[in-house]
Structure 1
Amino acid sequence: MSPDWGPVVVAVVLFILLSPGLLFQVPARSRVMEFGNMATSGISILVHAVLFFCVLTILVVAIGIHIHVN
């Protein structure tokens, strides 16, 4: 039986995409959402962590993404 790399790949991709300030930041300093500002705050880190956990749970548990490499 080969190991399941699906959760690892999904977690790495989501970690990169949901890094606060890289693509977007919720909440931003002056608006609700800003794109590509490369700045962050404590509340923004919390919001992005909750988004990461929710999306990861949906993709890995509910949808069941599996990648098996022989």
Structure 2
Amino acid sequence: MADWGPVVIATVLFVLLAPGFIVMIPGSGRFVEFGFSKMASTGIPVLVHTVIYFVLVTILLVAVGVHIYAG
């Protein structure tokens, strides 16, 4: 049986945490910008979203141990 938990969690978080898709920290004009922004981000928002992604993936996959089995 294949464990699809890591694949699903990583894909969903990657899509949701793309800078500018839902939220951008830090934003271009304010600290936090919500909604679909121009999808134009500099290096700092990318770094912040990368750290948030890494922390959430680590918590969900290692500490909580999310598993989805197919088959």
Same-fold call, TM > 0.5? yes
Q: TM-score, normalised by structure 1?
A: 0.94
Moved over 2 A (4+): none
Match of 1:42 in 2: 43
Q: Tell me the C-alpha RMSD between the 2 structures.
A: 0.7
Query: Residues of 1 paired with 2:40 and 2:23: CA distance?
Result: 10
Query: Residues of 2 paired with 1:64 and 1:29: CA distance?
Result: 36
Q: % of aligned pairs identical?
A: 51
For the pair 1:64 / 2:65, whether they are aligned, the reply is yes
Query: Residues of 1 paired with 2:66 and 2:50: CA distance?
Result: 20
Query: Residues of 2 paired with 1:51 and 1:41: CA distance?
Result: 16
Give the length in aligned residue pairs: 69
For 2:22, the aligned partner's letter is L
Q: TM-score, normalised by structure 2?
A: 0.93
